[in-house]
Structure 1
Amino acid sequence: MQSESLDAVVVTASRSAQKAGDVLADHLVITEEEIQESGQTSLADLMQTKRSIEIKRNGGAGNDTEVYIRGGNGKQTLLLIDGVRSVSSTSGTAMWSAIPLSQIERVEIVMGPLSSLYGADAVGGVIQIFTKKGSGEPRLTFSAGAGTDRERVYTAGISGSIEGEHRIRYALNASQEESEGFSARPARARNPSTGTVSNYDPDKDGYSKRSLSGQFSWEIAKGHELGATFMNSYNNADTDEGSGVQVFKPYIVSEVDVYSVHSRNQITTNWSSLLQVSRSYTRQQNFRSLTPSVNNSTQDQLSWQNDIVIGRDLLQVLLERREESVFNTAQTLQNRSRDNNSFALAYQANRGDHQISSSVRNDDSSVYGSNLTGGLGYGYRLTKEWRVNGSVATSFRAPTYNDLYYAYAGNPTYGNPDAKPEKGKNAEIGVHYDDGRSNFSAVYYHNEITDMLSAKPCTGGAPGSCTYNVDKALLTGVSMEAGSKFGNYRLYGSLDLQDPRDKTTNTLIQRRAKYHGTIGLKHTAGALKSGFDVVFSGYRYDEPEHVNRLGGYALLNLHASYDLNSDWQIFGRWNNALDKQYEFARAFQTQGSNVFVGVRYGFK
């Protein structure tokens, strides 16, 4: 957690480049330097150290993972990859375990609802991943590392730019990851309410991941650029399913593809345009039996954003169309499709020490109708270092294909074609301090979510469970962080005090703690950089209505790197150094003490 420069640029909070010191939305940025310093190989492990973020994972780094922002659920977190939505249309969540950390240049996390800018699912927040880009002289990069459980990671890349009247930028990066893993369901993983071991399977659950990403842009004339980006990642992860003698080892194949082309044009001195055509594709094949299940979803999107400078202000006009389709081996989910047309306006005003941001958006779906959302923010700079912010916003989460159409007679569980979107209303206020050496922030939020989709007994005497808009949730809390530099040391920490509550039952939402945070220290001594962080969390409940308590935990992580020369660097990290046993989900083991060491070339 580094003190973010007030001159650093943040894009996600307003869909336009802003200096970090001018961003009204609560946010944080993970830079490429921070990714390298951490020594982490998993995006989820890195994000777990950040404020407002909690994760859930069923086993090791290759297994099913969810990311929660401010106590919201995984379906209320919107993931963007280079500006493109990457969320499964059936499950409603992103495939976090398939995303390669080695391909990432920067991560921007905006806490709080942003449906008035991005539409559906931006209820708890938005996470945008920026893959690596090229600039400057041609550069070759390479890294290799190995660690506990026979983990091995290899990366290679080339990037650069050809300067001139028609500048060309390019980047191509590839990576291979694999691990023998550990048993996600060991013998000690027993259900305390029954005393039985659910799906006990003592063998190791490894994974392998192959990833490729690239970017290309060409300035065809001054102020006019054509470009393309892509990312493909394929993850094959063992899973523990069933018990007793198995015919073969069950595994799940996950794939994430993102493709886009764009035209960026400076039409006049005060009018810039970005036209983007994109496709996002997620695929999951579950080989738990001799007849595997298939779950594919495709989202095609056309987006046209216009930024118009009016004096010191900025007006944004946005038009979007998104077409979704799915294929699933479940009979009721085969060849389903829907589309969504959107129109949005946003305005940013600056008047001395006063800042105002406002936005309104309408999303018109062919399935669940029209949804209007809005946001209004205000900031006042008390001094050069101190600022106070406040905002109100509405949001919505669209019902997934599973919510609408899923049918599984063996359970039995059924979707509801009449399901409507969940609705959110958020208000927050915060104070921020940054003098370039020390920083502090505290934000209080109050996010009320109604019409939450939940499985309840079917009405009309039908057997099983059906999906209904019946639940309510109230997410409140204070998110704080602070840091300061002392000579060659930097001390930092964060603390979230929250009450994510199911208002229908007046109980804590499952797998959310009432507090969590991080404290850490970094030190630089010439070519040597080192540090540690302690990630801690309070107890949680694995099931609704306070069933199956999961104990709290504190994890000690160490990291270090040493520059051999201007091109070569050796690095290492030691996660869970004290070998703490803990769980994100009942009966799923997490990794014990583990180390990773490696070497890098050309990353300066």
Structure 2
Amino acid sequence: MIVRFIRHPALAVVLAAACHAHAEPASTVLVTATRSPQALADVISDSTTIDAAQIARTGAGSIVDLLQRQRGIEVTRNGGAGSAASVYLRGANSNQSIVLVDGVRIGSSTTGAANWSAIPLTAIDRIEIVYGPLSALYGADAIGGVIQIFTKQGQGAPAVTGFAGYGSNNTRKADATVSGATDGAHSLRYALSAGKETSHGFSSTRPGLSSYNPDDDGYDRQNVAGHFGLQLAEGVHAGLVLLHSRLQADYDTGPSAYNTHSISSIATAGVFVSAQLLPTWRTLLQTAQTRDNSANYTSATAAGNTRIDTRQHFTTWQNDVQVGADLLQLLVEHRTEHVDTNGAPAMNRDRVTKAFAASYNARRGAHLLSASARRDDAVYGKQYTGAIGYGYQLARALRASASYGSSFRAPTYNELYFPNYGNAANRPEKGRNAEVGLRYDDGVNAVSASYYRNRLSDMLVNTTPCPFGAGYTGGCAYNVSRATLAGATLAGATRVKDVRLGVSADLQHPQDDSTGKRLIRRARRHATVSADYDAGAANAGVEVQLSGARFDNAANTSRLGGYGLVNLYATHALTRDWSALLRWNNVANKRYELARYYNTPGATLFVGLRFGVNLTGGAQQEAPWH
């Protein structure tokens, strides 16, 4: 096989923080799969987590790099770490999956996708990935799955942690966090972090692309994040979560004396109050706002600049009701989107979505059952989605599961309103997914296998000629395509003395049923292999990433070759408070493409120092900084 590869939201965040330390996989608490903290052993959905220890140990350079090594995920990027990137879950498009930060959705209303390059890894404590349709819980766009990012949280005595590093392409990174918690009737949890990263980068394009320019394309990313929680009374909590990240990144538009660049930012801010109203009833009220702003600067004059800003406001009322040992959840949501752009005034408008959802989770002996339903009402019409899942404990460590769910993706502002391209009559894309799975986990050895088949209809594509008539000379967005995302994922992990071993493989067939062609930039096969060795104060590991060939166009005539990458990393505790990190990516200096005529990093080195101390004396016991 290797040879062939080479040619609640806010309430849940608070509760999970108390439960999710660095536990064994079998006892891990997951929030995203049900919108409430739930033991992994009781989660029917196929899912995985990346905790703070993993992030710190491996020293990943960006969130895109980190996700690229996870099962069920492929990425593309138009150059280096600051360039435009897409993340595909189970073959679904980047705008067919939801991205949450501390329970708050982020993304652009014009493209429908998150700005992955602007998300700072330095602010992240852990990540949860749930695969498969979750529209019945989260609404529009959860066709491929949901990726939820949790920022750093405070616990225990006051502590300061920090990191500084330097690497290839004159890459420099630094971040610091102050965190902790107080005791007493009005306890306060707090974490405030800030980070900065700059790099000279490398040329994002190659000869053959009309926008080729041999100059280096660097980037500068700055971020601040905060997480605060206050106990107002017994069973009553209030909190504030926030994140702001600004990215300035160079890109190529052809030979030019002007340094073409973009400035983008993402920002989230949310407040919540949760209360245990009755022994069996907990309620959460949350309001939040997110922004996704971007501007392109292609000349020294204002005429050459474009700006697109998205603002979203969310209000969520979630009620968790215990019915014996079961959990009934009732959810009401209100979402307002607003777009402001200087290039297409027709897009400067609001869009409101009102939603109601209900779910029920039960366990009866060896049987697990989950069911959920939701109605979303927006300008594109009423959308009804549902899901049902069943799990059976065959043995203490072995469980089988099966599920079926529907989902949809809302048309973006571009597909509805962009002049000479969008059409207000465009309908949402629809998905119908069925899957079966098997999971074994005895606390030391873990093996999982899942097979899924997701049938998509009414897919929106760029169609030429356009059926809408005159005025659409360059094509238009139109519901014309059907697709099938089918595949199997295999994964395993074990520990042999001081060595952790992991492997995953995805065998998939993401096909455009209208043409019989494979969806662009998706491989039939991709896999990862990892080994990690602990030797007291030192830790060392190796990662192998494998991908088969992909196609860069819908006609499947422009082929991107398969590739294999080897990455090495090591950490060493120098003193009680200090440790060192070394990471060597792409050790064989493999040349490969994620997008035609766009460069990818060659062999790169990065070294760094970490610092972590408890302000009341002694070293920080955990290492959640990275």
Tell me which interval the TM-score lies in, with the shorter structure as reference length. Answer: over 0.9
CA distance in 1, matches of 2:383, 2:159: 47
Query: Counterpart amino acid of 1:447?
Result: N
2:466 to 452, 455, 458: 458
**Are 2:225 and 1:225 equivalent residues in the alignment?**
no
Mapped to 2, the partners of 1:226 and 1:107 lie a distance apart of 23
1:198 Cα shift?
Answer: 2.3
Letter in 1 for 2:377: D
The 8 Å contact of residues 332 and 405 in structure 1, kept in 2 or not, is answered as: no
Structure 1 counterpart of 2:178, from 158, 166, 172: 158
Q: Specify the alignment match of 1:563 in structure 2.
A: 573
Query: Which residue is 2:12 aligned to?
Result: none
Match of 1:439 in 2: 446
CA distance in 1: counterparts of 2:604 and 2:47, whole angstroms: 30
The Cα shift of 1:186 comes to: 3.1
Where does residue 194 of structure 1 map in the other structure? none
Question: What residue is the counterpart of 2:189 in the other structure?
Answer: 169
1:193 maps to: none
SS of 1:362's equivalent in the other structure is strand
Q: 1:418 corresponds to which residue?
A: 425
Measure, in 2, the Cα distance between the counterparts of 1:263 and 1:441.
Answer: 38
Q: How does 1:132-211 map to 2 (within 5 A)?
A: 132-187=152-207, 190=208, 197-211=209-223
**Paired residues of 2:320 and 2:329 also in contact (CA < 8 A):** yes
| Structure 2 partner of 1:52 | 72
Q: Residue 523 in 1 paired to residue 533 in 2? A: yes
Partner of 2:557: 547
Q: List alignment gaps of at least 5 residues for structure 1.
A: 191-196, 408-412
Consecutive aligned runs of 4 or more in structure 1 exceeding 3 Å deviation: none
Between the aligned partners of 1:459 and 1:46, the Cα distance in structure 2 is: 42
Deviation at 1:38, TM superposition (A): 1.0
Counterpart amino acid of residue 34 in structure 1: Q
AA at the equivalent of 2:395: T
Offset of residue 491 of structure 1: 1.4
**Structure-2 separation of matches of 1:138 and 1:279:** 29
Q: What TM-score do you get using the length of structure 2 for normalisation?
A: 0.93
TM-score, scaled relative to structure 1: 0.96
Q: How far is 1:333 from its partner? A: 3.8
Instruction: Look up the SS of the partner of 1:403 in the other structure.
Output: helix
Q: Distance in 1 between matches of 2:564 and 2:23?
A: 24
- 2:45 pairs with 1:32: no
Q: Helix, strand or coil for the counterpart of 1:6? A: helix
- What is the alpha-carbon distance in structure 2 between the residues aligned to residue 574 and residue 4 of structure 1? 28
Q: Which residue of 2 aligns with 1:492?
A: 502
The match for 1:513 among 516, 520, 523 is: 523
Instruction: Give the structure 2 partner of residue 125 of structure 1.
Output: 145
- 1:464 and 1:476 map into 2 onto residues whose CA distance is 32
Secondary structure at 2:500 match in 1: strand
1:215 corresponding residue in structure 2: 227
- Post-superposition shift, 1:566? 2.5
* Separation (CA, whole Å) in 1 of partners of 2:399 and 2:215: 54
Aligned to 2:272: 262
Preserved CA contact (<8 Å) 2:347 2:417: no
Q: 1:311 to 1:177 in 2, by over 3 A?
A: same
Per mean C-alpha deviation after superposition, the further-off stretch among 453-462 and 494-503 is 453-462
- What's the CA shift for 1:334? 4.2
The Cα offsets for residues 190-249 of structure 1, whole Å up to 9 and x where unpaired, read as 3xxxxxx421100000000000000111101011001101000000000011x23x2411
- In the comparison of the two structures, how many residue pairs are matched? 587
| Structure 2 partner of 1:9 | 29
Offset of residue 87 of structure 1: 1.2
- The corresponding residue for 2:456 is 449
Query: How far, CA to CA, are the matches of 1:415 and 1:392 in structure 2?
Result: 32
Calculate percent identity across the aligned residue pairs. 44
Which residue does 1:363 correspond to in 2? 376
Q: Is the 8 A contact 1:358 1:375 kept in 2?
A: yes
Which residue of the other structure, out of 398, 404, 407, is the alignment partner of 1:392?
404
Question: Which AA in structure 1 matches 2:365?
Answer: G
In 2, distance between residues paired with 1:356 and 1:567?
47
**Residue ranges of structure 2 left out of the alignment (5+ in a row):** 1-21, 613-619
User: Does structure 1 residue 590 correspond to structure 2 residue 595?
Assistant: no
Tell me which amino acid in the other structure corresponds to 2:316. S
Deviation by residue 1:157-191 (Cα, 9 ceiling, x = unmatched): 1000111111101110000000000001133xx3x
In the alignment, is the contact (CA less than 8 A) between 2:347 and 2:413 conserved in 1? no
> Which deviates further from its counterpart, 463-472 or 319-328?
463-472
1:474 paired to 2:494 = no
**Cα RMSD (Å) of the superposition?**
1.1
Helix, strand or coil at the partner of 1:50: coil
| Cα offset, 1:70, TM superposition | 0.2
Contact 2:436 2:452 survives alignment (8 Å): yes
CA distance in 2 between partners of 1:549 and 1:528 (Å): 42
**Aligned partner of residue 543 in structure 1, secondary structure:** coil
